[in-house]
Structure 1
């Protein structure tokens, strides 16, 4: 009985030294994860965004953001949308226990055709940042109506974004060159994701009635999946 108790205590102590880092999407911040409940045996920390320097690509931004991660402790990384792309890059030069990407793409081959078109016809380079922000405000509720379940949070997160951040990260996404990825990455995707349609994505878990916004709108189910994956 004592041995079992010691094993349980040791297991709990190990988990408490395990930090889960959360990276939000392009138009979001830490509030995106407000309905994600990670098992209390893990520590949770949020990766904070800032406006990248002009000319930075996805890999460079990932390396800069990774400075917020304490690599002396055991850790895992979870990223949504743009955050998932950055987490995929981090998997190349960090050694996390787990990398979980949600509502995202792990390489440009998982992008729909419109992304590839914008790379050939780079309209994003001449469109001002405030226009990109305005376009996101208009298109977000149309393309992903599920956001209306918590539209005030989505509106507030997007409104708080620096137009320069949106323009530079849009360029990062459209010009992303990655064609392969670490096969240990676990991918959760929604079957109703209109931003990154699942037919292009090599996912591990497909969430029924899951949209691009499901981390916030289906927090209970995503929490269950995430905790299962972390403990595998």
Structure 2
């Protein structure tokens, strides 16, 4: 079964370098496409669904902005399940000042170069080991400035109340982008920040194995879907 992975803002498939799925599951990547002028996030996500083969069962997995996109795509498709990492499924879980910034149109005023500089410094100081630090530096450097400007505004203006089911949500207690206190994750990653998919992949791969394997068994006729265990510490 294919697991379609969507990356974060200004990033690409390389953030899934350490992802290891259990046997029977295949990683496929959703690639960013140029946004249309003044395009809203839901409309953009709908266009991304063209990259998905819906003729067979599939799973959506998204990191950060990719998690939001996966939620929006799931509203138009019928994935076996949706998995979001370091993200939020509804706009009410965004920090209040994000929403205020969106209402004021401040997202259009933040230069992509500034966002890149801030994240570069953060990962240069915090990301370990060196191979992961270099990975983040390369991804940030290659990020498309035009897409970053659009995506920042799109997230700040995003409105959604619908949660696709079943949904699995992995979130670090020290997430600096989407504060943990505002979220209701199904799997809690203690003492980890926004990029624990890169910094602590073993934890993520173990949780994903626990999530995915029951769905592999459920592929046979008459099998029931697994239940969601809420707020599970890791």
TM (norm. structure 1) is 0.85
Distance in 2, matches of 1:44 and 1:211, equals 24
Q: Alpha carbons of 1:141 and 1:201: their partners in 2 closer, same or farther (altered >3 Å)?
A: farther
Is 1:132 the counterpart of 2:148 in the alignment? no
Considering fraction of residues, name the structure with more helix: 1
Q: Secondary structure at the match of 1:79?
A: strand
- State the 1:93 CA deviation: 1.0
Change (3 A) 1:136 1:55: same
Match of 1:46 in 2: 29
Cα separation, partners in 2 of 1:167 and 1:47, compared to 1, 3 Å: same
**Which runs of 5 or more residues in structure 1 are unaligned?**
1-17
1:96-175 mapped onto 2 (5 Å cutoff)? 96-127=79-110, 131-139=111-119, 141-142=121-122, 146-149=126-129, 150-175=132-157
Give 1:151 deviation, angstroms: 2.0
Q: CA deviation at 1:157?
A: 0.8
C-alpha contact 2:5 2:27 (8 A) present in aligned 1: yes
Name the count of aligned residue pairs. Answer: 212
CA RMSD in angstroms comes to 1.8
What is the aligned counterpart of 2:183 among 201, 207, 226? Answer: 201
Conserved 8 A contact 1:27-1:158: yes
Residues 84 and 101 of structure 1 are in contact (CA less than 8 Å); yes or no, is this contact kept in structure 2? yes
Matches within 5 A, 1:38-77: 38-77=21-60
Given that 2:86 and 2:178 are in contact with CA atoms closer than 8 Å, whether structure 1 keeps it comes out as yes
Hey, what's the Cα distance between the residues in 1 that align with 2:158 and 2:80? 25
CA distance in 1 between counterparts of 2:107 and 2:207 reads 35
Partner of residue 182, structure 1: 164
Q: Take 2:125 and 2:100, find their aligned partners in 1: how far apart are those partners?
A: 24
Closer/same/farther in 2, CA of residues 145 and 205 from structure 1, 3 Å limit: farther
Tell me what 2:5 maps to: 22
Runs of 4+ in 1 over 3 A off after TM superposition: 139-149
Q: Please say which structure displays the higher CA radius of gyration.
A: 1
How far apart in 2 are the matches of 1:68 and 1:189? 26
